[in-house]
Amino acid sequence: MHAKTIAEIAKDLRNKEYSSEEITQHYLDRIKRLDPTYNSYVTTTEELALEQARAADQRLAQGDNNPLCGVPIAHKDIFCTNGVRTSCGSKMLDNFVPPYDATIVENYKHAGAVTLGKVNMDEFAMGSSNETSYYGPVKNPWNTNCVPGGSSGGSAAAVAAQLAPAATASDTGGSIRQPASLCGLTGLKPTYGRVSRWGMIAFASSLDQAGPLTRTAEDAAIMLNTMASYDAKDSTSIDKEVPDYTATLNDDIAGMTVGIPKEYFGEGLNAETGARVEAAIEEYKKLGCNIKEISLPHTHLAVPAYYVIAPAECSANLSRFDGVRYGYRCETPADLNDLYKRSRGEAFGDEVKRRILVGTYALSAGYYDAYYRKAQQVRRLIKQDFVDAFNEVDIIMGPTATSPAFEFGSKGADPIAMYLEDIYTISTNLAGLPGLSIPCGLVDNKPVGLQMIGNYFAEGKLLNAAHKFQQSTDHHQATAPNLD
């Protein structure tokens, strides 16, 4: 059962091959047995999951036709869950139990999905390797000596290890797509505003966006149908009709124009990774797509602009964690100032502290114009590059990451080297565009991802192109070795 996709599980449930309670228990047993190896879960919600599964079985018996009804999923521990610890991978929130659900959690509950638990992540979503989590690093199921990517490494590892058929995730600079690439999955970052951010603990508010991590593009479409919604509680939510993303999966893509940015195939790209991506682009030629070289000339400025803007927003967002209202509080503070200093100093990890300091500096008097304002101007140039490109092409394709999964500790001493892991993904967050990563082959028995970038609200087009590729290839069917 654990090797099945969402679409297959939904079909089996309706055919009464097994019940939601049975498949939920199956996954819970696998998590208990196998997750000590991967460390993908922070909290397993066994009692809640079985209660939801029994309720889903009643709905199914009454003819509920929602494809997610009775399907077990995992939630990244960045999404607030009523009555369930939501830690954001940090000591600061190790004891935080929200009194409400994030909007996307609520959406999945209404659909009848079953919550298996909350999965591990880089602390406050800051990291590209899942090495910054307070609960320890997550292991990549393809090679447990390697990272799964970050910050949604727990979501990716749980799905790749078949400890959940799908998981929610979030993407601030590539945190869905890069783990999808490193773990051989399909990962979608929707257009900014397409999915509500209410109840998602904020890192960088103008960049954060929730999305799904799944085995296939079809499953991603099913997940997005429920995840996407207008939400009056989120001021950045877009009041735009949500289409049925599964309805256009099989549309013909012959004649589609695919743009290949020359900046994505230069220095820094692993040669074998580049070869797998180019082979995937050749497959699109066979499917009838027109391939056109384009330029995104400000790509080289994306990383420095991002690492001014994101830390600045992080500095503001994380100021609420002060030891007073909720979260970690230091022991016997001498006074209020000591409470603030020690609570934050003891509870935040090194990477979070680094970004708070960088962001506070960039926002401080005398430096705001030189750094933050300039970064926002660069952001506008990056967005214009994409606007110009989409006047000529339908979809942009290139690598998701510079290389396959790297070993633990290999980049930890050099924050800049870690930041450059996001070089191909950051631009889409700065521009607010949708991006998708799908498996396109292996290098040294580790997955490689093909990234597709679409115009605003073109998630359906991305999923259609990905689905057609997955119908004509079998890269997405490859599974990590030694799965029990």
Q: Give catalytic residue positions.
A: 76, 151, 175
- Residue among 24, 459, 414, 18 nearest 245 (CA): 459
E-strand spans in 124-217?
Answer: 166-171, 186-189, 209-214
Cα atoms in the Cβ-side hemisphere of radius 13 Å centred on 101 = 11
Q: Is the bond preceding residue 229 a cis peptide, omega within 30 degrees?
A: no
- Residue among 460, 459, 405, 404 nearest 428 (CA): 459
3-state secondary structure of 109: helix
The partner residues of 395 in beta bridges, in order of sequence, read: 258, 454
Angle at 294 between CA 292 and CA 300, to 5 degrees: 150
C-beta separation of 427 from 304 below 8 A: no
Report helix angle 46-61 to 20-38, nearest 10: 150
Residue carrying structure tokens 């009709």: 241
3-state secondary structure of 74: strand
- Residue among 293, 290, 309, 292 nearest 301 (CA): 309
C-beta separation of 73 from 168 below 8 A: yes
Start-to-end Cα distance in the chain: 12
Go through 368-402 and write b for each residue having 16 or more CB atoms within 10 A of its CB, e for each that does not. eeebbeebeebbeebbebbeebbeebbbbbbbbbb
Cα atoms in the Cβ-side hemisphere of radius 13 Å centred on 85 = 16
Structure-token pair, residue 292: 């056109």
**Measured distance CA(159)–CA(118) in Å, rounded:** 13
Q: Would you put residue 146 in left (φ > 0), alpha (ψ -120 to 50) or beta? A: beta
**Measured distance CA(403)–CA(273) in Å, rounded:** 6
